[in-house]
Amino acid sequence: MIGIMRKAGLLALMLTARFIGVTAQSLDSGLRIDAEVGGQLSSGSMAPLWLSSNRYGVTSPYDHAAYERVGAFRSLETDSARQWRRGYGLDLMLSQNAPSRFMVHQAFFEVEWKKLNLSVGSKERPIELRNNELTSGCMSLGINAQPIPMARVAVDYFSIPFTNGWWKWKLHIAYGMTTDGCWQKDWVKLHGKYTSNTLYHDKSLYWKFGKEDARCVPLTFEIGLQMATQFGGKAYNVLARDSKELADMDLPENLKAFWNATTGKGRDATDFTESNAHGNTLGSYNMRLRWNGRTSGGKRWTVGAYFERFFEDQSMLTLQYGIQDHLIGLDATLPENPYLSAVCMEHISTRDQSGAVYHDQTKSIPDKMNGRDNYYNHGIYSGWQHWGMGIGNPLLISPVYNDDHTLTFYNNRLKAWHFGLSGDPTPQLHWRLMLTLSENWGTYDSPLPDKQKQQYYLAEVGWTPQFLRGWSGKIGFGYDHGGLLGNSFGTQLTFKYNIYTRK
């Protein structure tokens, strides 16, 4: 009996070793290792906005800065022929004159089965329903800040039964924790408000109607809701409504706190007579209408329109306060040509914020008014930012720009027109141009003395030479002009090299 058990154990050990060996070999296939260096110089106190924004926090916003970056990645596409797919990434950075000297920018592992995806760690995730290269950004879940480590479950578009693919759903839910607590403590001045070990939650649900490849009407319409919440952790130097003294708060992280963050219920310790949503809760409705065309020669092109409606807490979840605040965009991708590949135009307005009046319901005054939303700011948490950069749209100027070192968004009421163009003259050359014209009013609590106009420009060219296999480079020029951030001209140079690729 003992002999049989030993043989069975030996066989199990051999099979386990074989499985580990096959798995290790399969995980090595598709491995790509890249190294990248970049630097910038600017004439102003800060770099031009579009040289540092919407780059996942890789590029420093300061006037002169540099970084070195090395990463190893395996894409899920490597296993595209399989039902089970695995991917991973490790992306490390050293930076000079940046919020952090050393940064684990990305570190993730993900597994996918059919339409179901599980991802654990910090990973760059694109904006839904728009051209990520040319857009000004997303109001809720953008690409402006360092990725937040999280555990994320997602289901990609799947067809609703009996609709023959004309109606599809996709959804995701995630929980994580921000990593900038030590930086906040060092960056804010004495008695300044900051938080540490803040928990994070986001989720989304999208519907898609139509088919891109439909013969007669290749028209698709996508509509969805995405929401996010900062909760838990510890808040320092918080001023409660019924107190004149600063206090530190250990914020709840129990099951009820997770439930409230997920459902948008509950209240904060600083709420007055009326409960508000638990933690810093925000989100946006997103929709996109797109025509997916094809020329007689078979070249693809698209033209579309999209709309985003942002909300803080429970106000603006309905149409009660109108649609004065919005992000509206038009974009197109053109048939392959050497002149122009894609165009984008957006109009952004955040000036209303449900109105200028805010008042909780009381026994003496039963009327409740949900105005003065104060986008991205919060009474307890350090705002909708990570490592000083706004998680949403960078036109609502990030706290890292503040001379007084407060984690406050001092300019969240604005109107802007944004334009973007890109092209591919040859397979080795790629360029893009961006221009943003904005008018800014500060905030309701701290309005600017006068309306300030600000302009942001970007011209960028990338080159992937055939005779230098594995090398690519990019040079960009940015210019800011106006009374909000002042004038700044800057240039940015980036080189990237593919160290190793295993097929």
Q: Are both 26 and 40 inside the same structural domain?
A: no
Domain span holding position 11: 1-30
What is the rounded distance in angstroms from the CA atom of residue 124 to the CA atom of residue 108? Answer: 10
CATH value at residue 309: 2.40.160.130
- The pLDDT score that the predictor gives to residue 271 is 58
pLDDT value of residue 270? 61
User: What total number of domains does the chain contain?
Assistant: 2
Residue 369 lies in a domain: no
Residue-wise pLDDT tens digits, 434-482 = 999 999 999 999 999 999 999 999 999 999 999 999 999 999 999 999 9
Same domain? For 16 and 95 the reply is: no
Retrieve residue 484's tokens: 């909000």
In whole angstroms, what is the distance from residue 115 CA to residue 261 CA? 26
Strands of 295-428, DSSP E: 300-312, 326-333, 342-349, 358-359, 369-370, 385-386, 389-390, 414-426
- Asked whether residue 373 is assigned to any structural domain, the reply reads no
Q: Could you tell me if residue 374 is inside a domain?
A: no
Residues 6+ apart with CB under 8 A from 162: none
**62 shares a domain with 94:** yes
- Predicted pLDDT of residue 8: 47
d(CA 294, CA 333): 11
Residue 112 backbone phi and psi in degrees, to 5: -135, 135
Assess whether 282 and 338 both reside in one domain: yes
Q: For the chain, which ranges sit under pLDDT 70?
A: 1-27, 241-243, 267, 269-277, 314-316, 318, 320-321, 355-371
The whole-angstrom separation of Cα 441 and Cα 141 is 23
Residues 105 and 48 in one domain: yes
Q: Residue 234, Cβ neighbours under 10 Å: how many? A: 16
Nearest to 116 by CA among 201, 164, 173, 166: 173
**According to the model, what pLDDT value does residue 22 have?**
43
Are 76 and 67 contacting, i.e. CB atoms less than 8 angstroms apart? Answer: no
**C-alpha–C-alpha distance, residues 183 and 186, integer Å:** 5
Residues 26 and 86 placed together within one structural domain of the fold: no
CB within 8 Å of 364: residues ≥ 6 apart: none
In the chain, % of residues over pLDDT 90: 78
Is residue 298 within 8 A of residue 319, CB to CB? The reply is no
Q: Are residues 358 and 448 in the same domain?
A: yes
Shared-domain flag, residues 348 and 252:
yes
CB of 145 closer than 8 Å to CB of 391: yes
Same domain, 230 and 168: yes
Q: Do both 471 and 401 map to the same domain?
A: yes
Residue 208 counted as domain residue: yes
Q: Is the residue at 372 inside a domain?
A: no
> Can you tell me the distance from the alpha carbon of 98 to that of 59, in angstroms, rounded to the nearest whole number?
8
Q: Which amino acid is at 22?
A: V
- Mark whether 7 and 63 lie in a shared domain: no
My answer on whether 219 and 287 are in the same domain is yes
Residue 33: how many CB atoms within 10 A of its CB? 15
Which pLDDT score is estimated for 269?
A: 64
* The predicted structure's pLDDT at residue 268: 72
Please indicate, yes or no, if residue 216 is contained in any of the structural domains.
Answer: yes
Residue 195 lies in a domain: yes
Q: Is residue 240 part of a domain?
A: yes
Residue 59 Cα to chain centre, angstroms: 15
Q: Do the beta carbons of residue 61 and residue 23 sit within 8 Å? A: no
Beta strand extents in 279-325 (DSSP E only): 280-294, 300-312
Q: In whole angstroms, how large is the CA radius of gyration of the chain?
A: 25
